Amino acid sequence: MDLGAIVGGDFIYDEIRQRLRQSNQISAEIADGIDGLQRDGHQLEARSLKAVFLLSRVISSSAADTGLKTDAQSIADLLVDDLKSDNSALRANVKVALEE
């Protein structure tokens, strides 16, 4: 892995997806929808929805105001996987993906 490369936050969803399904913390409809997007080549949309799900869980489970939001900027922040690159295109593409 190159210096500056990081794991996008949606990686966490991939790691815990099975446990979320087994404990009914995510519906089959939502999990299958995300899987379908990914399978059909809509990677950014799938990654964005994974981030939305994770952010929603943190926001809803915290008694204190976390300052986190499920807006395009916060979602793009979670999806960044290269700190050296200009991520403005990612941010713009996430915004478009969320509007679709």
Q: Hey, is 67 helix, strand or coil? A: coil
Apex 34 CA angle, 17 and 30, nearest 5 = 75
Q: What type of residue is 67?
A: G
Apex 45 CA angle, 86 and 87, nearest 5 = 5
Question: Phi and psi dihedrals of 27, rounded to 5?
Answer: -75, 155
| Distance linking the first and last C-alpha atoms of the chain | 33
Mean pLDDT, the chain, integer: 90
Percentage of residues of the chain with pLDDT beyond 70: 96
Residue 64 pLDDT level (bands cut at 50, 70, 90): low
**Residue 21's pLDDT is what?**
94
**Residue 4's pLDDT is what?**
75
List beta partners, residue 5: 82
With a cut of 90, say whether residue 19 has pLDDT above it.
yes
